[in-house]
Amino acid sequence: MMSPSATSEALSIQPENGDGTASTTQPVPAPALSNDSEFLNTQPGPDHDWKISLKNKVVAITGANRGIGLGIAEVCLANDAAVVYSLDLFEPDEEFQAIQKANPKRIRYIHCDVTSEESITSAIDAIVANEGAIHGLVANAGMTKHQPALNFDRAQLEQLFNLNVFGAYFCATTVAKRFIELGIKGSIVFTASMTSYRPNRAAPSAPYGATKGAVRNMTHTLAMEWAKHGIRVNSISPGFVKTAMTYFVDQAPDWNLKMQYYGGMPRLADPKELGGAYVYLLSDGASYTTGIDIPVAGIVGAW
């Protein structure tokens, strides 16, 4: 770790001209340290819950009526979340309704189009009106399309970016405003993807990977900007998960051989297997964890 003096020195180094002489550019001043109480109030309080638990927490998950989002919701409920809200464009199916029946009043659905700022704001406001607070948001809603890069048209690109990037961004900024207004040290978790690290050989999609790279990148900057409010921002990068979006994997005649080629666990994950990572990042146990991505892919580096 650099000392304060070393940091000041590093910031004062002048760039060189092409001939090796020092440029006349003025030294960049070191950033001033702040005693602002807004920063000092981000530490855990006396009633901090050190367990990895979501007890008494209200969590919203976009796209939680099915797939990865529903798996996350189930694991949040299993870890004592007070209420989980699914913000989804589509009506709940039988699987969601069965979970709802098993958890009366603890999992609810709000119709929401995350590509609409107005719809997002309305959904978050409804949660706060119903519960008096919101403590965590999982920006999970997304879509993919797999085809060669030369086959994508602009409309397809815009559809992917509108949902995967702009939708996630406006969900995060909307809930961050509520956290700040309510004085809540909330947690935001984005669903990124292993394709944000490297190509998916089984089903390449340059635009999808680009959207998830954008999500992972903005995680770092939002975490930096909102740390002073005690708001944590992180992401999870799933690998192959058994959902409607990965229908193509086990339809291939040699899919099991391809999975073995990737190394690690030669199978698709159950959506609930991702849930533990989300629960950790949403919990008070992760009070000093922000700006990171957690790959949950069976093995890291096999992609």
User: How many of the other CB atoms lie within 10 Å of CB of 146?
Assistant: 14
- Cβ-Cβ contacts under 8 Å for 67 (sequence gap 6 or more): 241, 243, 244, 245, 271
Instruction: Go through the domains of the chain in sequence order and give each one's CATH number.
Output: 48-296 (3.40.50.720)
User: Which residue out of 86, 187, 193, 196 is catalytically annotated?
Assistant: 193
pLDDT recorded at residue 248: 62
pLDDT of 11 over the 90 cut: no
Give per-residue pLDDT as tens, 248-287: 666 667 776 766 666 677 778 899 999 999 999 999 999 9
Active site residue 193: yes
pTM to 2 decimal places: 0.82
Give per-residue pLDDT as tens, 155-166: 999 999 999 999
3-class secondary-structure state, position 232: strand
User: Which residue out of 109, 208, 262, 278 is catalytically annotated?
Assistant: 208
Kind and range of the H or E run holding 137? strand 136-139
Active site residue 208: yes
pLDDT recorded at residue 14: 44
Cα 287 from Cα 219, distance rounded (Å): 16
Give per-residue pLDDT as tens, 126-156: 999 999 999 999 999 999 898 899 999 999 9
DSSP state of 52: S
80 vs 35, residue with greater confidence: 80
User: Which residue out of 57, 185, 212, 242 is catalytically annotated?
Assistant: 212
3-class secondary-structure state, position 205: coil
Active site residue 212: yes
